Structure 1
Amino acid sequence: MIILIGGEKGGTGKTTLATTLAALRALAGRDVLLIDTDIQGSASDWAQQRGDSGARRVACVQKFGKGLQAEVLDLAGRYQDIVIDAGGRDSVELRAALVVAGRAYIPVQPSQFDLWTLDRMDGLVGAAQGFNPGLEARMVLCRASTHPSVGDRRDATALMADFPHLALSPAAIHDRAAYRKAAREGLCVEELRPKDAKAAEETLALYQEAFRE
Structure 2
Amino acid sequence: MVILIGGEKGGTGKTTLATNLAALRSNEGRDVLLVDTDKQGSASDWAAVREEIEGVPRIPSVQVFGKQVTSQVQDLEARYDDLIVDAGGRDSVELRSAMVVTDRFYVPLQASQFDVWTIERMEELVEQAQAINPSLQARVFINRASPHPQVREASEAEEILEEFEHLVFSGVVLHDRIAFRRAAGNGVAVTETESPDPKACNEVQALYDAIFEQTETAHAQEA
Q: TM-score, normalised by structure 2?
A: 0.92
Deviates more, 1:190-199 or 1:60-69: 190-199
The residue aligned with 1:24 is 24
Following superposition, the deviation at residue 7 of structure 1 comes to 0.6
Check the 8 A contact 1:36/1:43 in 2, yes or no.
yes
Does residue 185 of structure 2 align to residue 211 of structure 1?
no
- Equivalent residues in 2 for 1:1-213 (5 A)? 1-54=1-54, 55-192=56-193, 195-212=196-213, 213=216
* Cα distance between partner residues in 2 of 1:160 and 1:23: 29
Q: 1:20 to 1:158 in 2, by over 3 A?
A: same
Contact 1:104 1:135 in 2 (8 A): yes
CA displacement at 1:98 relative to structure 2? 0.8
Structure 1: which 5+ runs fail to align? Answer: none
Count of aligned residue pairs for this structure pair = 213
**Which runs of at least 4 in structure 1 moved beyond 6 Å after TM superposition?**
none
- The answer (yes or no) to whether the contact 2:7–2:107 under 8 Å persists in 1 is yes
Q: Which residue of 1 aligns with 2:220?
A: none
> How far off its partner does 1:192 sit?
2.4
The AA in structure 2 aligned to 1:188 is: A
The separation in 2 between residues aligned to 1:172 and 1:160, in whole angstroms, is 13
Segments of 5+ residues of structure 2 without an aligned counterpart are 217-223
Name the TM-score, length of structure 1 as normaliser: 0.97
- The aligned counterpart of 2:221 is none
1:162 CA displacement:
2.6
The amino acid of 1:22's aligned partner reads A
Task: Give the deviation of 1:143 after TM superposition.
Answer: 0.5
Q: Which amino acid aligns with 1:125?
A: V
Q: Which moved more, 1:99-108 or 1:29-38?
A: 99-108
Report percent identity of matched pairs. 55
1:193–1:200 contact (8 Å) kept in structure 2? no
Letter in 2 for 1:134: S
